Amino acid sequence: MMKHRLFIGVVGDGDCGPAAAAVAQEVGRLLAEAGCALVCGGLGGVMRAACQGALSAGGQTVGILPGDSAAAANPFVAVPIVTGLGEARNVLVAKTSQAVIAVEGRYGTLSEIALALKLGRPVVGLNTWELARDGEADQRIVRAATPAEAVHLAIEMATRASGEGR
C-alpha cells in the first residue's frame, strides 16, 4: 500500500513582523524536511515566510489564493490555486490540510482555525489564538513552544487522524 504525502496547512497573518516570519520560515523548512506538502493562502506575511522555508528545503508549496490571478501568489508558491473566493478560500485551506499550524495571526487566522476545528482537522498553535466557550477554556488548539514541536505534533496528529499510523 502506497503511503501518501501529508498536506499540512500553515496559517497566519498576511502582514507579520520579523519574529513571526522567522517562526513560519522554520515551520515551512521542517515540514519540507519531513516530506510534507505545505498548504497556505498563498499571499504574504506568515504564508510567504512558510513557503520560503519549505521551498528552501526542496518542499512542495500550495497557495490557495483569494483572488483571480496566480500572479498574486508569493514567489515561493509552487502550485497557485486561483479561486476568486476572497476570504471564503479559507474553507479550502482548512479542507485541503490534514492538520493546521497557526502562527500568531488575526481574524483571518481565527477563521481558518475555526474552520479546521469544525472539519475535524487538528490545529497546533504557535503564539496564536486561545478559545473559550461559556467561560471554559477550549483546549482543541494544541499549544507548541517551538516550530519543531509544532511540526512534530501536526504530523503526529494528521497521521493518526488519517489512519496511516496503524
Q: What confidence score (pLDDT) does residue 88 get? A: 97
Q: Report the C-alpha gap between 109 and 98 in whole angstroms.
A: 16
CA angle 162, 124, 99 (to 5 degrees): 25
Query: Is residue 127 predicted with pLDDT exceeding 70?
Result: yes
Q: Report the C-alpha gap between 40 and 72 in whole angstroms.
A: 13
Percent of the chain with pLDDT strictly greater than 90:
92
CATH of the domain at 65: 3.40.50.450
Query: Is residue 10 predicted with pLDDT exceeding 80?
Result: yes
pTM, 2 dp: 0.95
What's the number of domains the chain is made of?
1
1 found inside a domain: no
Closest C-alpha among 136, 144, 143, 97 to residue 116: 97
Q: What confidence score (pLDDT) does residue 3 get? A: 55
153 found inside a domain: yes
| Mean pLDDT value across residues 138-161 | 96
Q: What confidence score (pLDDT) does residue 2 get? A: 42
Question: Hey, how many other C-beta atoms are within 10 angstroms of the C-beta on 17?
Answer: 10
Say if residues 157 and 142 touch (Cβ distance below 8 Å): yes
Is 1 or 103 the better-scoring residue by pLDDT?
103
Q: What confidence score (pLDDT) does residue 18 get? A: 98
70 found inside a domain: yes
| Mean pLDDT value across residues 55-66 | 98
Domain, as residue range, for 122: 10-162
133 found inside a domain: yes
CA-based Rg of the chain, rounded to a whole angstrom?
A: 14
CA distances from 130 to 27, 55, 153 (A): 20, 30, 18
4 found inside a domain: no
105-120 residue pLDDT tens: 999 999 999 999 999 9
27 found inside a domain: yes
Q: What confidence score (pLDDT) does residue 163 get? A: 73
| Mean pLDDT value across residues 6-14 | 98
CA quadruple 87, 160, 28, 24: dihedral sign? positive
- Cα 117 → chain centroid: 13
Q: What confidence score (pLDDT) does residue 37 get? A: 98
